[in-house]
Amino acid sequence: MLIQPTISSQRRRNYIALKVLEYCEHHRNDPLPPLDSEWGISPTLDLKRRKNTQIGDWDQQYIKCDQELLFEVIQAASYLDIKSLLWVSVLYQSPIMDD
């Protein structure tokens, strides 16, 4: 038996897709990260450098949401391989996790 998603879950997924699209649209002209000859586009900037990264004002406003929505944005960024959105989401969540 195939379970059909409820209307509210479909709306939620649409909202997540629009949220991710909004992020991509805002950052479409950002410069690409430096190339790392061993790994391709630098997915491995060390964690210390990443933790010291400041989240911009637009990104802070963008990512302010409830924990469930933030988790879904993280999942979407990971699935779509949008590293900058993934890092912004994780950096925003890390102080929440420390509490």
Band (pLDDT 50/70/90 cuts) for residue 55 is confident
**14 within a domain of the structure (yes/no):** no
Q: Is residue 62 within 8 Å of 22, Cβ to Cβ?
A: yes
pTM for the full model? 0.69
Query: pLDDT tens digits, residue range 38-52?
Result: 444 444 454 445 555
Q: Retrieve residue 9's tokens.
A: 């879950």
Q: Please report whether residue 15 resides in a domain.
A: no
Query: Which structural domain range is residue 61 located in?
Result: 44-99
Residue 39 main-chain phi, psi, to 5 deg: -110, 0
Compute φ and ψ for 5, nearest 5 degrees: -65, 145
What Rg value do the Cα atoms of the chain yield, rounded? Answer: 15
Examine residue 60 and state whether it is found in any structural domain, yes or no.
yes
Q: Which residues contact 85 (CB under 8 A, 6 or more apart)?
A: 20, 23, 24, 73, 77
- Assess contact for 67 and 8: CB atoms under 8 A: no
